[in-house]
Amino acid sequence: MRLYSLRGSKAICCLVLLSGIGSISRLSAATPIYVDNRAGSDSYNGRTPSHQGPSLGPVRSIQTALRRVSPGGTIILLPTNAPYTEDFTINKTLGSPRYPLVIEGNGVEFVGFQPINVEAWQHEHSGTYRLIDPNPLAVLIYSQGNLLTPALSGDSPDRPSLEEGEWTQWKGTVYFRPGLKQSIDSYELSKTVRPAAIVVDRASNVVLRNFRIRGYGLDAIQVRGPAKGVRIEGCEIAETVRAGVAAFTNVDLEVKGCRIAATGTSGVIVDNYVRLGLESVTIEESPERVVAGKTSTVDDRGGEALPIAKGPFIRPVGWRSHLSEAVEGHR
């Protein structure tokens, strides 16, 4: 009887082991969830890249995809003829070290700026306009989707004079001077309104891959710990008020093959026990490459990033950093 019981235990153990292997295999081969910000619908199941039936097709929002993806699965963003404007948060662990949650950006562009209502501008003397803004945070200003170079205010107690087509943010208020024979609405002005495109909030084993992100009011990607096994790969980031990537409070983060440009403070900011690895990361037109707190460590292995396949690298022309004072409170 004991021998029979032992064999039975072995059989049960084998069945459990095989069942576990099968689960891992199924986990790694989970059906991707597709996102299409134009043709998708959150009433679809997300399991096909195109509409194929009453409930078959891509979802419209990334937050819906996060609710439907299997642990260790993949979310794939589909390129469309419009940039993605949804910012999203990953706030629970949906993967393991072996099978992380992968969000494949597929080269799509995320933008964090929105048009300014013409009525929000108040005309002042000398052809200058002042932006009436109930939330006067540090911003970037765009004209027809292109970043405008600001006039620097420095430590001057007086507001800087503006040439035609220039803007500045002085004591929290944005000022703009249009051309002599141009109306302010002809510039199609926009400003940054979203603090970040992607937030990983106390979630581990996440891979963010092949995103193009620009025009955010703080950082492009934020990681808030505790979070282990977070990887950012092949992303192109430009035009942020503070940093391209920021990580805080007990985070293990790898950034690989990314290009970052035109940030107000630094390409990457880490603080409060963050372990950062950099490999083939290019950082241009930013005051600092990395700003790290005393309790954080940085392993910068060098190398240059290669452009991702979708579209040219976002390279602002004539960018001058001007936001160090405005973002001091965010450091």
pLDDT digits (tens, 9 = 90+) for 279-298: 999 999 999 999 999 999 99
Comparing C-alpha atoms, which of 76, 74, 77, 78 is closest to residue 95?
74
Q: Could you give the C-alpha distances from 247 to 193, 208, 250, 272, 277, in angstroms and in order?
A: 21, 14, 9, 9, 12
Domain 83-112+194-330 has CATH 2.160.20: yes
Q: Phi-psi region for residue 303, left (φ > 0), alpha (ψ -120 to 50) or beta?
A: left
Say if residue 200's pLDDT is above 50.
Answer: yes
Distance of alpha carbon 57 from alpha carbon 151, whole angstroms: 48
Distance of alpha carbon 78 from alpha carbon 58, whole angstroms: 9
Looking at this protein, which amino acid is placed at residue 203? Answer: A
pLDDT of res. 171: 85
pLDDT of res. 155: 60
Say if residue 156's pLDDT is above 50.
Answer: yes
Structure confidence at residue 320 as a pLDDT band (50, 70, 90): very low
pTM of structure: 0.84
Distance of alpha carbon 239 from alpha carbon 111, whole angstroms: 10
Looking at this protein, which amino acid is placed at residue 235? Answer: C
Residue of 202 and 125 predicted with greater confidence:
202
Say if residue 204's pLDDT is above 90.
Answer: yes
Q: Could you give the C-alpha distances from 119 to 122, 129, 171, in angstroms and in order?
A: 7, 11, 21
pLDDT of res. 136: 72
Domain boundaries, the chain: 83-112+194-330, 113-192
Comparing C-alpha atoms, which of 175, 176, 215 is closest to residue 195?
215
Q: In the chain, pLDDT over 70 holds for what percent of residues? A: 82
Lowest mean pLDDT among 145-159, 216-230, 275-289: 145-159
The whole-number average pLDDT for the span 61-81 is: 96
Distance of alpha carbon 140 from alpha carbon 162, whole angstroms: 16
Q: Which of 198-202, 314-318, 326-330 has the highest mean pLDDT?
A: 198-202
Say if residue 315's pLDDT is above 70.
Answer: no
Residue with tokens 């507001």: 159
pLDDT of res. 153: 64
Strands 206-209 and 88-90: unpaired
CB-CB contact of 283 with 307 (8 Å)? no
